[in-house]
Amino acid sequence: DAKTTQPPSMDCAEGRAANLPCNHSTISGNEYVYWYRQIHSQGPQYIIHGLKNNETNEMASLIITEDRKSSTLILPHATLRDTAVYYCIVRPVGTNAGKSTFGDGTTLTVKP
């Protein structure tokens, strides 16, 4: 699986958009970008995933660059409850999904 690079930490003001970047310059054509978050040592929670088109769900939006070498997770109106560690992972759908590893992620702190 392609490796990812994320900043170790970011701050965001409550109510503002949180934009979390991820670099995955070695991503392969059949690999998806997944985002998870982990709130205070709880089990990681799935947020969103995408292949090459931008995606949006009730939690967040995912913007993937045209060359697919980087992506940005957007939390449109961050709340204090969004304070967590956010993990960006790339993996092929279906085969070999189990080989995915989680890097150290980005610790997002939402401040009042």
Partner 1 sequence: DADVTQTPRNRITKTGKRIMLECSQTKGHDRMYWYRQDPGLGLRLIYYSFDVKDINKGEISDGYSVSRQAQAKFSLSLESAIPNQTALYFCATSDFLGTQYFGPGTRLLVL
Residues that bind partner 1 (CB under 8 A): 32, 34, 36, 41-46, 49, 87, 91-94, 97-105
Asked whether the beta carbons of 27 and 34 are under 8 A apart, the reply is: no
Asked whether the beta carbons of 77 and 15 are under 8 A apart, the reply is: yes
Taking the complex as a whole, the smallest distance from the CB of residue 100 to partner 1 amounts, in Å, to: 7
In the block, tokens 């204090």 appear at: 80
Output 19 or 102, the one with its CB closest to partner 1: 102
Taking the complex as a whole, the smallest distance from the CB of residue 54 to partner 1 amounts, in Å, to: 18
The angle subtended at Cα 10 by Cα 30 and Cα 54, nearest 5°, is: 30
Asked whether the beta carbons of 4 and 68 are under 8 A apart, the reply is: no
Taking the complex as a whole, the smallest distance from the CB of residue 51 to partner 1 amounts, in Å, to: 12
Taking the complex as a whole, the smallest distance from the CB of residue 101 to partner 1 amounts, in Å, to: 6
CA distance 69 to 107: 21
